[in-house]
Structure 1
Amino acid sequence: MALFKRRTVGKPGEWYYCLKHQKVEEGPECRAADRFGPYATREEASHAMETARERNLEWETDPKWHDMNAEKGKGGGAEGD
């Protein structure tokens, strides 16, 4: 007997985008590693890939996430080594 039951039916209004099947699903039909979500609406879930691309671009161009000193210290180690 399993300690935890696998939740096969989502809550009403939970929407996911399945990466494996490339489609919007209501409730968690596929495993968590294969989906984005939950989203509040079907429309939001349908734009999951666009949202991910936009967020990735924001992260890649955000100066807070890219240390300007990284170019100077390519060899690694502490400052002053």
Structure 2
Amino acid sequence: MPLFKKRTVGKPGEWYYCLEHRKVEEGPECPAKDRFGPYPTRKEAEHAMATARERNLEWENDPRWHDAPSGPERDGREPGD
């Protein structure tokens, strides 16, 4: 008898966005590596890709995620200038 049961049926009210099939699913139908979620509503799962784009843009522009340049390139000068 397996120690852990594989959950094949999701809970009602758990919504996921499947990246492989590009569809919303209630409960996890596809493997975790292929989905975003869970989301509390179907509508939020439908907007998963837009939410991911917005978050990526925020992170790309967040100075806390970028190391400060060091050395001469910091001020735009080449070494020896």
Using the size of structure 2 for normalisation, the TM-score is 0.82
1:72, distance to aligned residue in structure 2 (A): 2.9
2:58 match: 58
- Superposition misfits of 4+ residues, deviation over 6 angstroms: none
Deviations 1:1-39, CA, capped at 9 Å, x for gaps: 322111111111000000010000000000000000000
Deviations 1:23-80, CA, capped at 9 Å, x for gaps: 00000000000000000000000000000011111111100111223x5399xxxxxx
Aligned length: 73
2:9 match: 9
Gaps of 5+ in 1: 75-81
Identity %: 75
1:44 match: 44
Q: For the pair shown, which has the larger CA radius of gyration, 1 or 2? A: 2
1:28 match: 28
Gaps of 5+ in 2: 74-81
Question: How far apart are the structure 1 equivalents of 2:29 and 2:21?
Answer: 11
Using the size of structure 1 for normalisation, the TM-score is 0.82
